[in-house]
Amino acid sequence: MTKNKTLTIQEKIAMLDELVAWFDSDEFTLEIALEKFKAAEALAREIETDLASLKNEIKVVQQSFDQA
Amino acid sequence: MENAINPRLTVSDFVALTNQTLEYAYPSVEVEGEVASFKVNQGKYVFFDLKDNGASVGCFMTVWQLRQPIEDGMKIIVTATPKLTQWGKFSLTVRALRPSGEGSLKKSFELLKAKLDKEGLFAPERKRLLPVLPRHIAVISSTQAAGYADFIKILSDRWGGLKVDVAHVQVQGTDAPDQMIRALKYFNTQEILPEVIVIIRGGGSADDLSAFNDELLVREIATSRVPTLVGVGHEVDESLADLAADVRAATPSNAAQIIVPDRQEIIRSVRYKVQSVLPRTLQAIDVVREQLRITLQDAFTTIERRHQQSEERLMQLRQVLVQLDPTVVLRRGYALLRGEQKVGSRIEIETYHAIMEAKVERYDKK
């Protein structure tokens, strides 16, 4: 599976949901289930890595609010 | 000489000189006392007396400066400048006031709550939803406060990739409401608006938290363009800022929990999703396996039935064959005759027990 570097975590989660939903759909066939499962597993690992590496960017506004 | 020691002044000059002296000596004073004779004239000017057991002093302020409601009998602290009016009356020109003591704080809180509630500032239909996963938030708090540190820690533990703009302001004291109002205005007028404004402060006494019951601050929160989340004090503390906000958090830590999901929970959920397809796949395999078993069973049953049918047929044929066996007929006493059937010819006769030869003496057609 290729890395989905340009996608956000939400988009990746949506993709994973789609993959998982396929298993419940009428399109499900045992022949391609393994391929889909491997793709879902890889995507889940990617999401996990993304989530673990994200950092917040905290910036204190320079403006003083003491005076009007 | 006498004039130098006792200068003769006009009344206006005397009043002006007295005010100059007062302003120099007491540019600003805080006076605590009980409110008496409270009244508002022309909807603009507020008059009341501030008294204790030994004295009483008149106070004046505009209605716009009155940011927390008061009434007779309440104990308050005024920040004021002493002044002698042109009619010779001494009074305090009040710039700000705040209730003092638990009873007065509570009374003021209830009065303002009732007023703003009547205006619909706390109405549920005004509440907006916070974005599910914001990418840019603004925080209004004191960066030195424990509540702020808790918020940032929990926020960072739970989620990442957020742009967090922080306005450092006082969160208690007389200046706190105005500073928070300026910060709210600042974030609401940015070119790129944050998706949520979070106002936080840790626990404290009722007096410490009274800044969050300031009328102008509460109105500013209620009219914020950007959705607001307020987490002030502990779970039991209720402020008017809480009520006016789109979402109320019980504590600063709770505010962080509300604003972003927990990444560990998402990781668990993602793992669960992937694992959840396994039983479904196994179930599909079981279904196919069962279908296969049924098909094979059907085939076996068909073969078995056909085999049985063949066996039965064979049995019938055997019985027919038995019936057709000549020895059976011979056993019943019949004889088998071989040879030409005409007078004088020799024929062979076979019975069950013997074979004999005979000569045809007579031949009559039936």
CATH for B41: 2.40.50.140
Q: Quick one: what percent of chain B has pLDDT higher than 70?
A: 99
Take residue B295 and report the two structure tokens written for it. Answer: 């098909």
Same structural domain, B161 and B232: yes
User: Quick one: pLDDT at residue B328?
Assistant: 84
**Each residue's pLDDT tens digit, B248-268:** 999 999 999 999 999 999 999
Query: So what's the pLDDT on residue B234?
Result: 79
If asked whether residues B255 and B130 sit together in one domain, one would say yes
From B222, B242, B261, the end of a domain falls on B261
pLDDT digits over B188-217, tens only?
999 999 999 999 998 888 778 889 999 999
Q: Which residue has the higher pLDDT, A67 or A9?
A: A9
pLDDT at A34 over 90: no
CATH of residue B172: 3.40.50.261
Distance CA B248, CA B57 (A): 41
Place of tokens 């039936």: B366
Nearest to B129 by CA among B267, B25, B249, B227: B227
pLDDT at residue A3 greater than cutoff 70: no
Q: What is the pLDDT of residue B102?
A: 82
Identify whether residues B283 and B297 lie together within a single domain. Answer: yes
Do B67 and B44 lie in one domain? The reply is yes
Q: Is residue B98's pLDDT more than 90? A: no
Give the domain range for residue B309: 262-318
Calculate the average pLDDT of chain B: 91
pLDDT bin (cut points 50, 70, 90) of residue A5 is low
Cβ distance of A56 and B164 shorter than 8 Å: yes
B270–A47 CB contact, under 8 Å:
yes
Residue B116 domain flag: no
Query: Three-state DSSP class for A63?
Result: coil
| Helix H or strand E segment including B330 | helix B326-331
The residues near B271 (Cβ < 8 Å, ≥ 6 apart) are: A44, A48
Residue B105 lies in a domain: no
Whether B139 and B249 map to the same domain: the answer is yes
Reported pTM:
0.69
pLDDT at B284: 84
B113 domain residue, yes or no:
no
- How distant is the Cα of B297 from the closest Cα of chain A, in angstroms? 23
Nearest CA in chain B to A51: B263
Q: In chain B, which residues have their Cβ closer than 8 Å to the Cβ of A24? A: 280
Nearest residue on chain A to B187, alpha-carbon basis:
A61
* Residue contacts between A and B (CB atoms, under 8 Å): 100
SS3 of chain B: helix, strand, coil, percent, to 5: 45, 25, 30
In chain A, what residues touch B157 (CB-CB under 8 Å)?
A: none
Q: What is the DSSP letter of B64?
A: G
Number of domains in chain B: 4
User: Is there a domain that residue B38 lies in?
Assistant: yes
Terminal alpha carbon distance of chain B: 196
Inter-chain touch A37–B278, beta carbons under 8 Å: yes
Does one domain contain both B172 and B215?
A: yes
- What is the rounded distance in angstroms from the CA atom of residue B211 to the CA atom of residue B233? 12
Is B46 in the A-facing interface, judged by CB distances under 8 Å? Answer: no
> Is residue B130 domain-shared with residue B250, that is, in the same domain?
yes
Q: What is the 3-state secondary structure (H, E, C) of B278-294?
A: HHHHHHHHHHHHHHHHH
pLDDT at B219: 96
What is the H or E stretch that residue B66 is in? none
